[in-house]
Amino acid sequence: MIESFNSFEVAQRQIQQAAEILDLNEATRDLLIWPQREFKFTIPVKMDNGIVRIFHGWRIQYNTARGPAKGGIRFYPDEHVDTIRALACWMTCKTALLNLPLGGGKGGIACNPREMSERELESLSRGYIRATAPYLGVDKDIPAPDMYTNPQIMAWMMDEFEMISQRHHPGMITDKPLQIGGTEGRRDATARGGVISVREACHALNLDPTGSYAIQGFGNAGQRAALLHQELLGGGKLVGVCDSRGGIYNPDGFDVKELVTYKLTKGAVSGFPGGKAIDRDAVLEMDVDVLYPSAMENAITSQNAPNIKGKVICELANGPTTPEADKILNTNGIHVIPDILASAGGVTVSYFEMVQDKYSYFWEEQEVHNQLDKKITKAYQTVTEAIREKKVHSRMAATVVSVARVAEACELRGWV
C-alpha cells in the first residue's frame, strides 16, 4: 500500500516530541505547533494570449520570537498551504539551530513556471509583492528563492517592493544578483553547508570521506553537492544519480564535471555515457558511504527505509524522511544529518547577505565560505552534544535544540 503523508502533520509531530522531551508547558507547545500569521491571496495575471488567469498565493510567518521571518518563495503546480506551513516550521528550526537572529517563514504560488513566458513570470512575481508588501521588509519578513524561483525573480520582487515604498531596500529579499546587492557564495551555499556537515560526520564516525556517494535529485543543490563533495572532502566516487526523469549507475564512478554539464545541456541525467539506466528510486537504496536526498519531501518512508544502506544520510531536501522511517534508520545504525542542519547553508548565507546589505559593505567569497563553515561546524557539534545528553537520534536532537531556543525567546517576551 502506498503511504500518504501530510508534511505539516509530520512537522507538528516533531515539534510536539521535542516539547515533551523539554517538558514545555501546554501553552508553549500549542504556540509552537501553529503558524503565527498566514496570508492567502489571489494574483491576476494577463497571459501572453490575452486571457487573464487567477493564481493562488500564500505567505506564512511561522514564528518571529527570535527575529523577522525568513524563508523562500516556491512556484509549484501542486502547491498546498500545509506544505508551506511545514516548510515555514522547518525554517524556524533552521534559523534557531544555526543561532541566527531570525524567525521562520515560507511562501508559494500554485503555478507551473515551466509553462510560462518570462513576461508572465515577471507579472506574477510583481503581483506576489503587491499582495504581500505591507507584511515584508528587513525588520518583518525577508523572502528568498525556493523551488522554481531564482535570482532574477528576486530582482523583480525587490524592484516592485522599492517602487511601492519609494525607497531602496536591498535587504528585504535575498539571493539577488550580485549587481543589485547579492552576496558572493550564495549560489552553492545550501550544498556547501551539507558537505561541511558530511565532513564533520565522517570525522566523528571515523569514516573515509573519499568513499562512494549517491545523489537523489540532481537540481541545483544536487549538482553542487556532487562537485563540492570532491572539492571539500578530497575526492569520492559518485556512483548513482537520479532526477525526475530517471536514474543512472556506474560502480566505477562518474566524471562529475562532465555529468553536471550533461544535465545542464540535456535537462536530464538519463543517457549520460557510461551510465547504466536504473529506476530513479533505486538510488536511495544503493550501498554507499554517503547518500544525499536532494529532491522532495517524504522520499524515505517506512517502506524503503529498511533497504537503505548508506552509512551517512545528508538531507539537502526539506523533510525527505518520515518519522517512521527515522526510527528504522536509527535502529539500523544509519547516521542522519537532518535537513534543518544539512540544508541550512542557504539561509545562513542569506543572513550574511542581509548583514552586508545593511552596512553596504560586501565580503570576499572566501570570507563567506569561512563564516559558513564556522556556523555549520558549531551547529553540528551542538547537535552531537544533544544526542549524548538527551539520548535521542540526530533529528530529534536538532529539533530539541531549535525548539528550546525558540521557546526561550517566546517566554522572555512574555508570550507564554
The catalytic residues are 106
- CA separation for the pair 133, 348 (Å, rounded): 24
Q: CA nearest 224: which of 294, 279, 272?
A: 294
Scanning 267-344, the segments in alpha helix (DSSP H) are: 323-331, 339-342
- Residue 402 carries which DSSP code? H
- CA separation for the pair 146, 152 (Å, rounded): 12
- Residue 206 carries which DSSP code? T
- CA separation for the pair 362, 320 (Å, rounded): 34
Type of residue at 242: C
Cα distances (angstroms) measured from residue 265 to each of 2, 68, 260, 272, 413: 34, 39, 9, 11, 52
Cα distances (angstroms) measured from residue 186 to each of 106, 138, 293: 19, 18, 20
Angle at the Cα of 389 from the Cα atoms of 403 and 370, rounded to 5 degrees: 65
- CA separation for the pair 173, 168 (Å, rounded): 12
